[in-house]
Amino acid sequence: MNRARWWLLAAALVAFPAGAQTKIRFTLDWVFEGQTSFMHMANYKGWFKEEGLEVQVDVGTGSAGAFQRIMTGVYDAGLGDMSSQIEFLSRNPGPLQFQSVYVMYDQIPAGFFALKKSGIRSVKDFPGRLFMESPTGFSRRIWPILAKAAGIDPNSVNWVTASPALRATMLVNGDCEIISGFLSIPIDLEKRGVPPDQIVTIPVADYGINYYGNTLLVSQKLIETNPKAVASLVKVFNRALKAMIANPTESVKYLKQREPLVDETLEIRRTGMVMPGLVTDNVKKRGLGAVEAERLQKQVEQVTLAYGLSNPPTPERLFNPKFLPAQSDRMLVAN
């Protein structure tokens, strides 16, 4: 080897050392909880490292926070709600900043919650009641569609605005009569002294809200500059999610390693409570991660109507399927 070629090789080795990892900053949708323990499991088991990735997983502040973190370049990927993404892209029609590349929740695992002493048992009991929600919360926006499905006047409920962090406390204290959130909300109520049999849960799925929930979001910059890293991220995300679905108890053990203060028993239960959004009949038949264009288009149309949007995004702008693993790799393992 001549001297010139030797120096070129040496320079290449310095610039791209053997085993170099691509660093990805990942924001969760919320705090460290059981249903996202699979991300920690993937880290501790070395699955990301096997694919040439070094993934930093941080707590989140909601979908809007994830969008902003990715847009500003502080984070490369994260979790965010599909309906919120529809609204965000409608109100920000410029160059794409991020896309969904994998669906985590095939059905949004959300519902409404009340105390049994209120007499509320279904959405038909909501008229005249006081509903707590944040200014941009999902239930406030989607309420007109739910009301129509239940055959009641959408203007028949009263609203009180507060932070999602206060919803359980407000319901217990009598500052509102209805709250909304993931199907694991009863855990927060029980921690505040409410007996399980005194909590009324009303899933939105019972009223035809067949929406995709949280998805894996990736910045457009990463998609364009390092598609191999995106494919690797999706591959491990799929692998780890499948492993958590098959064995939540094992997955939560890795959450405990990441955050020693968590209650393993509680987080295993929390994961089980949102499992209906992960394991649907559709997922059992077609596998995890993908979207059906017709179903996503219907979600776009309904969210556009409910949120009063004027420039709805197309399904192609929302979801990029090119990084999905083969369908056979996305199928759940039969128990």
Residue 335: what pLDDT?
60
Rg for the chain (alpha carbons), in Å?
22
> What pLDDT is recorded for position 64?
85
pLDDT at 16: 39
Q: For 86-113, how does the pLDDT look when each residue is reduced to its tens digit (9 = 90+)?
A: 999 999 999 999 999 999 999 999 999 9
Residue 270 has a pLDDT of: 96
Report pLDDT digits (tens) over 110-132. Answer: 999 999 999 999 999 999 999 99
What's the confidence (pLDDT) of residue 19? Answer: 58
Residue 313, number of CB atoms within 10 A of its CB: 20
The pLDDT value given to residue 4: 44
Q: For the chain, list the domains and their CATH numbers.
A: 22-106+212-330 (3.40.190.10), 110-207 (3.40.190.10)
Is residue 127 within 8 A of residue 153, CB to CB? The reply is: yes
All residues at 6 or more sequence positions from 318 whose CB lies less than 8 Å from its CB, including other chains: 82, 85, 86, 89, 99, 100, 296, 300
Report the alpha-carbon distance of residue 244 to residue 89 in Å, rounded: 31
Residues of the chain with pLDDT under 70: 1-19, 335
pTM for the model stands at 0.90
Contact 244, 271 (CB under 8 A): yes
The predicted structure's pLDDT at residue 161: 93
- What tokens were used for 173? 């204290």
List the structure tokens of 335. Answer: 């128990």
d(CA 282, CA 287): 7
d(CA 185, CA 111): 9
Q: What is the pLDDT of residue 253?
A: 98
Quick one: tokens of 40? Answer: 């920690």
Q: Residue 271: CA atoms inside 13 Å, Cβ hemisphere, count?
A: 26
End-to-end CA distance of the chain: 57
